[in-house]
Amino acid sequence: MLVAIVGLGYPLLVYAGLLVFEPRVLVLGVGVFLLARAASSWRTWKRRDLGRVMVPVVLVAAVLVGAAIVNDGRVLLFVPALVNGALLIGFARTLRRGPSMIETYARLRHPELLASRGPYLRAVTAMWCGFFIINITISALLALYGTLEAWSVYNGILAYVLIGILLAAERVYRYWRFRNYQGGLLDPVFRRVFPPPTAGGPR
């Protein structure tokens, strides 16, 4: 997944690389890194996924080419913001056309998902769109005005901490709201905290 590659590996590679190499040399290293990671997962891509995957790939390639031409390492700092922008576009488009991105993911794991969950999953998709907007803003501002250290810490660590907090908070809220337990790993714990309704079915 490209966002995971950028989030976990890219900032550290750029930070270390800019301290040692000139931008053109670093561009080559980054390009090889991303190509290797993409090649390791291309077999799992489906034909319908290619359009969605190619958007961030083209954006990243354009940034790498631009950085090589101007030989300015700061150009490389805009890659996480661009990838989040591509994710924002992908998620937001599903809010207009439907089904929402989160509903699509949910139905891959639970094909029997009730249609009544659609509005909630749409709201969760909108929530992620809001997160992407915030993430784009912070990442771009750090690329423009922040130090390399601050940019690396945010994009390589803090952004993923925020994602983890958001995922955990949404899951707790989902357990509280629906109280529908289907044998998940944490179901026994949350069943005690949020007992299923005794009448009227799922909330």
104-145 pLDDT, tens digit each: 988 888 888 888 889 999 999 999 999 999 999 999 999 999
Residue, of 180 and 177, whose pLDDT is higher: 177
70, 139 Cβ separation under 8 angstroms: no
Instruction: Fill in the amino acid letter for 88.
Output: L
In a domain, 197, yes or no: no
User: How many domains, the chain?
Assistant: 1
100, 155 Cβ separation under 8 angstroms: no
181, 190 Cβ separation under 8 angstroms: yes
In a domain, 202, yes or no: no
Nearest alpha-carbon partner for 156 in 79, 66, 42: 79
Dump the DSSP string for 25-86: HHHHHHHHHHHHHHHHHGGG--GGGHHHHHHHHHHHHHHHHHHHHHT-GGGGGGHHHHHHHH
Give the span between the Cα atoms of 155 and 162, in whole angstroms.
Answer: 11
User: What pTM does this model have?
Assistant: 0.79
In a domain, 87, yes or no: yes
26: pLDDT strictly greater than 70: yes
In a domain, 183, yes or no: no
Give the span between the Cα atoms of 63 and 83, in whole angstroms.
Answer: 11
Supply the range of the domain harboring residue 8. 2-161
In a domain, 167, yes or no: no
Give the span between the Cα atoms of 146 and 165, in whole angstroms.
Answer: 24
Average pLDDT for residues 42-68, to the nearest whole number?
67
- Residue 47 has a pLDDT of 55
Average pLDDT, the chain: 82
In a domain, 184, yes or no: no
In a domain, 73, yes or no: yes
Residue, of 79 and 125, whose pLDDT is higher: 125
In a domain, 64, yes or no: yes
Tell me the per-residue pLDDT of 143-165, one tens digit each, with 9 for 90 and over. Answer: 999 999 999 999 989 999 999 99
